[in-house]
């Protein structure tokens, strides 16, 4: 069974702090990794994708990938109350063109003013 | 450009009833997906389609059927509703094999009593 694991949280950080969200995956052949943000009662929204080992930065968000450790993380700098949401890690387990994703259960982030 | 639309937004079914969840996208995307999300869980892939006339099973297809007669529409059919199908259903689309981003619809909240 191919799996994506995340801590469910809730993760609580004060406004302005760095929030660190972690994800591990079971399938070594995975090539594509994604972070989705989901506000309560809303649909998921893609915020970061990463394909190569190392860091990828986009504004206040940094995704980190370590394929040897089968680990992907998301850092949110200068956290804002508007960042409070559930963050879903997703992995393209099967590779190929179908783009089928396996999702983790999500980590609920709460940013306190 | 409405993106991905889903109807209805909410529905309550009795055990054994049937219904069709509608999904339409106006972005001319080839790939379309149906997911379900149970409370506190990640998304599970039910069915997907890589183009009109082509569909395939995902992780949790039992109790569901799909069709894809046009590029725009990808309806999901529940034939004999069961309480285990109580969930939020999301439809998503993706342009082509070279683009990883999936665009999600607003979801349908289904309760089976």
Tell me the per-residue pLDDT of A5-15, one tens digit each, with 9 for 90 and over. Answer: 998 889 999 99
Tokens matching residue A20: 């660190």
- Whole-angstrom distance, CA of residue B91 vs CA of residue B83: 21
What is the rounded average pLDDT for all residues in chain A?
Answer: 91
Q: Does B43 touch chain A (CB under 8 A)?
A: yes
Distances in whole angstroms, Cα of residue B12 to Cα of each of A10, A72, B110, B112 = 30, 38, 6, 6
How many whole angstroms separate alpha carbon B111 and alpha carbon B61?
A: 18
Pick among B100, B103, B105, B106 to test the A interface (most A CBs inside 10 A): B100
Which of A2, A7, A43 best probes binding to B when mutated, by most B CB atoms within 10 angstroms?
A: A43
C-alpha span between B103 and B27 (Å, rounded): 10
In the numeric block, which tokens belong to residue B102?
Answer: 């999936």
Residues A66, A51, A11, B42, Cα dihedral to 10°: -120
Question: What is the least distance, in Å, from the CA of B45 to any CA of chain A?
Answer: 8
For residue A109, what pLDDT is reported?
Answer: 96
Residue contact B106–A92, C-beta within 8 A: no
CB contact under 8 A, B42 and A8: no
Q: What string of pLDDT tens digits covers the 113 residues of chain B?
A: 789 999 999 999 999 999 999 999 999 999 999 999 998 888 999 999 999 999 999 989 999 999 999 999 999 999 999 999 999 999 999 988 778 789 999 999 999 99
Contact B45 A4 (CB under 8 A): no
Return d(Cα A65, Cα A69) in angstroms, integer. Answer: 9
* Residue B68 contacts A, CB cutoff 8 Å: no
In this predicted model, what pLDDT tens digit does every residue of A74-85 receive, in sequence order?
999 999 999 999
**How much is the average pLDDT of A61-71?**
94
CA B19 distance to own-chain centroid: 12
């Amino acid at each position: 069974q191919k799996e994506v694991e995340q801590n469910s949280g809730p993760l609580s950080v004060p406004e302005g702090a760095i929030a660190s969200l972690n994800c591990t995956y079971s399938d070594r052949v995975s090539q594509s990794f994604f972070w989705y943000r989901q506000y309560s009662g809303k649909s998921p929204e893609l915020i970061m994708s990463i394909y190569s080992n190392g860091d990828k930065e986009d504004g206040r968000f940094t995704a980190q990938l370590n394929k040897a450790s089968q680990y992907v993380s998301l850092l949110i700098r200068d956290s804002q109350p508007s960042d409070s949401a559930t963050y879903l890690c997703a992995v393209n387990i099967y590779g190929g063109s179908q783009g089928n994703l396996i999702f983790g259960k999500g980590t609920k982030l709460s940013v306190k003013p | 450009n409405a993106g991905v639309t889903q109807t209805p937004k909410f529905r309550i079914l009795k055990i054994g009833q049937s219904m069709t969840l509608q999904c339409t996208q106006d972005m001319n995307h080839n790939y379309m997906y149906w997911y379900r999300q149970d409370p506190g869980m990640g998304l599970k892939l039910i069915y997907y389609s890589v183009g009109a006339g082509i569909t395939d099973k995902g992780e949790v297809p039992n109790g569901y059927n799909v069709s894809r007669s046009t590029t725009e529409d990808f309806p999901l059919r529940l034939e004999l509703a069961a309480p285990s199908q109580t969930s939020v259903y999301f439809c998503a689309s993706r342009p082509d094999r070279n683009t990883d981003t999936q665009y999600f619809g607003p979801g349908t909240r289904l309760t089976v009593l």
